[in-house]
Amino acid sequence: MNALRSIAMAFAMFSRIPMPRVEWKKENMRYMLCALPLVGAAIGLALMLWVWVCLRLKMGQTLFAAGIALIPLLLSGGIHMDGFCDTADALSSHQPAERKREILKDSHAGAFAVISFGMYMLGYFALSSELELCYDTALIMGLMHMISRAVGALMSTLTVSAHEGLLSAFTSAGVKGAAWILLCIFALCAAGVILIAGIGGAAMAIAAIIAFFALRRMAIKQFGGMSGDLAGFSIQMSELIMLTAYVFVTKAVNI
């Protein structure tokens, strides 16, 4: 029952999908980060529906790509993108780690946050426009969103928190086996994307592993540890890195 409560809390916290009210107790938060990839699965289902709509109405590639880029942002409520923007501001300040952590807590969006958001969405949309309009694409993208959330949750579980906050509360409530659960989810999703997409899927899985180590190193070096904003930044960046690897490797193989 606690696992179900943790899943409901994960969807309530990290998505716009309505969930029953669950009391925020330590035992209810135990598996919350482990349930984060399930939000990615829900996004995959929404993308599957979007593909069906585009095929039925014979939509063009541009509108299809716009949906691929915007639906995850809409369903997540922008919570991970908020962390991306805050982290972009902090990294662009070139200040010591303590000052960067203060910038993360600032609710105002700086110029670099706006610039980084625009560049990110433009790149994501452009890459999405290279995807084939078919159900396999929706399945691959859904697995990608599950992998990215497994990466963010795994980083949060295995890395010391930079300061007290929600992320610290989630990780302190977690069990020792949380990392193993997340690793299993990552492995299953990686195997699935390789099975569906072949070499392109393998490139996506390898890119996710590289992103994990590179982003974790950045969090420790630049901020002294993880935070909720850094987890969001890691999720968004790993998605962009995986999508880039998939598109370029798939195109190269088909030459």
pLDDT in tens, 69-90: 999 999 999 999 999 999 998 8
**Alpha helices for the chain (secondary structure H):** 2-14, 36-57, 61-76, 79-93, 97-105, 111-128, 135-158, 166-173, 178-197, 199-223, 228-253
Q: Are 35 and 170 in contact (CB under 8 A)?
A: no
- CA angle at 9 for the pair 210 and 212, rounded to the nearest 5°: 5
Domain count, the chain: 1
Residue pLDDT, tens place only, 197-215: 999 999 999 999 999 999 9
Cβ pair 170, 246 in contact under 8 A: no
Query: Rounded to a whole number, what is the distance in angstroms from the first to the last CA of the chain?
Result: 51
Q: What is the residue whose two structure tokens read 């790993």?
A: 238
Residue 141, judged by CB atoms within 10 A of its CB (0-12, 13-18, 19+), counts as buried
Say which range, 17-21, 172-176, 250-254, has the weakest mean pLDDT. 172-176
pTM of the predicted structure, to 2 decimals = 0.90
Q: In the predicted model, what is the mean pLDDT of the chain?
A: 88
Which domain does 131 fall in, by range? Answer: 2-253
Higher-confidence residue: 164 or 139? 139
